[in-house]
Amino acid sequence: MMKIVLYNIGYGTGLKGSLKEYFTSFWHYLWAPRVTETVKNIGQFMKRQKADIICMLETDVGSLRSRFNCQAKQVAKKMAAPFIHTFSKYHPMSWIKCVPVMRHHHDAIISKIKGSVIPHYFKAGGKSLYLEFVVGDVSIFVVHLGLLRSSMRKKQMEELTKHLKECPRKYLVCGDFNIFKGLSEVSDFIKENTLKMVHKTATFPSFKPKRAIDLILACKDLHVKAAGVLDAPYSDHLPVWVEI
């Protein structure tokens, strides 16, 4: 049995997702005043969950905002997890990687189980990274789809579909899908790949969840024992989890 948690931590800014907060505290994305405490709380929370694998989106690996600390390493230390893998959200050849602060924008996999990570990149979109974490006979795909345009998200899901059809292992697809138009945005993707949605609970914004945008999808051959959404007041997203 393996417990996996997906959490978009919002770079440790501590914002909870209200429009008012985004407008009045947007500067937290450059200088988060309580970032050390927030990341410490996230680490302690994850330790209590007793998860084997944490798929962590929007993690800062060392900018001024994070006080030059790698947030993934801070969380892993609290969890006593020995395996840490972080990759820039942007393609290795992207000009965005040269921009201060943004070059420290990573996604991470923190694990108590040894596995191999393969970074992949969408052809469409600025945030092009998606990760594949191979553990035994299971692949865990971790995605963060484009925010602004549903057409971009559709292209990314079409690219991912081609990859999933070639995957020789049972798999999960988990991530922040940014489907602000609703679950109908992923209906074709789910049908095309014969996926199971392990939960439909709203995860965003965390202070008053209205939209299920953080999803875990399982292939038909993968047995899902349990799944759900966790109440964690440390980001604008709520974490989701699954046991397989």
Measured from the Cβ of residue 104, the count of other Cβ atoms closer than 10 Å reads: 23
Q: Is 157 exposed, middle or buried (0-12, 13-18, 19+ CB in 10 A)?
A: buried
* pLDDT of 100 over the 90 cut: no
User: Which residues contact residue 229 at a Cβ distance below 8 angstroms, ignoring those fewer than 6 apart?
Assistant: 199, 201, 202, 203, 209, 238, 239, 240, 241
Q: How do residues 133-186 score in pLDDT, each as one tens digit?
A: 999 999 999 999 998 788 999 999 999 999 999 999 999 999 999 999 899 999
Residue 8 domain boundaries: 3-243
* Token digits of residue 74: 């801070």
Q: How confident is the model at residue 127 (pLDDT cuts 50, 70, 90)?
A: confident
How many domains does the structure of the chain reveal?
1
Residue 7, both tokens: 């959490």
Q: Is the pLDDT of residue 125 over 80?
A: no
> What is the share, in percent, of the chain residues with pLDDT greater than 90?
80
The span from the CA of 50 to the CA of 71, in Å, is 19
- Distance of alpha carbon 60 from alpha carbon 80, whole angstroms: 19
Q: What is the pTM of this model?
A: 0.95
- In 3D space, the residue among 139, 181, 183, 180 whose CA is nearest the CA of residue 160 turns out to be 139
Q: What is the mean pLDDT of residues 202-215?
A: 96
Lowest mean per-residue pLDDT among 72-81, 106-115, 119-128: 119-128
Helix 35-49 vs helix 71-79: crossing angle, to nearest 10: 40
The yes-or-no verdict on residue 234 having pLDDT over 80 is: yes
Q: Does the structure show a pLDDT above 90 at 211?
A: yes
Residue type (1 letter), 19: L
Model pLDDT for residues 43-95, shown as the tens digit of each residue: 999 999 999 999 999 999 999 999 999 999 999 999 999 999 999 999 888 88
Residue 16 belongs to domain with CATH number:
3.60.10.10
Give the pLDDT of residue 227.
97
- Of 19, 107, 20, 99, nearest to 61 by C-alpha is 107
Question: What gap in Å lies between CA 170 and CA 164, rounded to an integer?
Answer: 10
| Cα–Cα separations (whole angstroms), residue 132 to 7, 144, 173 | 16, 13, 9
Taking the C-alpha atoms of residue 18 and residue 214, their distance in angstroms, rounded to an integer, is: 17
- Give tens-digit pLDDT for 25-45: 888 888 888 999 999 999 999
Three-state DSSP at 47 gives: helix
108 pairs with which residues across the strands? Answer: 56, 86
* Closest of 58, 239, 232 to residue 144, by C-alpha: 58
